[in-house]
Amino acid sequence: MVTGPEMSIAASDLCFGCGKRNPCGLKLEFNWDGKVATSSFTPTELHQGWKGIIHGGILSSLLDEAMGYVACFEKVGGVTAAMEVRFKRPVSIGEPLAITAWVSNKARRFVDTEASLTLKDGTVVATAKAKQYISSEVIIPDDKWGQPAGDAPSA
């Protein structure tokens, strides 16, 4: 939601990553333990690129959403300025994924975040690093972020 030059990052019901009312969205829910944000996702045939293989853009979206959440949990108001994704192996329809993200470095104007997608057996299928630009124009509502473990913001 944009209000003048400021941008609120309160969770939106229609967010592609976490919105509960977005029929095309990923509907992610995150947990926070004070250092690491976690979630899970099982891709369907609607998420494929090549037949039976999950589209890389969907995997990238999972990673980006996780890194955005961890920055918000850390009370850092920012937006993704750059992101690098490394795909380790293809992901098939129906393979459950564990999503993990954390802050690797905080500076005055940027925060570095990292994330990974893993299979149940621990196989890493993709990793990402992002640089998030910290801006005073981004508002993090106190009532939505930074709750104790298990109390992820509701969208």
For the chain, the C-alpha Rg in angstroms (whole number) is: 15
Write down the pTM of the prediction: 0.83
pLDDT tens digits along 93-142: 999 999 999 999 999 889 999 999 999 999 999 999 999 998 776 666 66
CATH match for 2-139 among 3.30.420.10, 1.20.210.10, 3.10.129.10, 3.40.50.300: 3.10.129.10
What is the average per-residue pLDDT within 34-43? 96
Query: For position 16, what pLDDT does the model report?
Result: 86
Query: For position 75, what pLDDT does the model report?
Result: 80
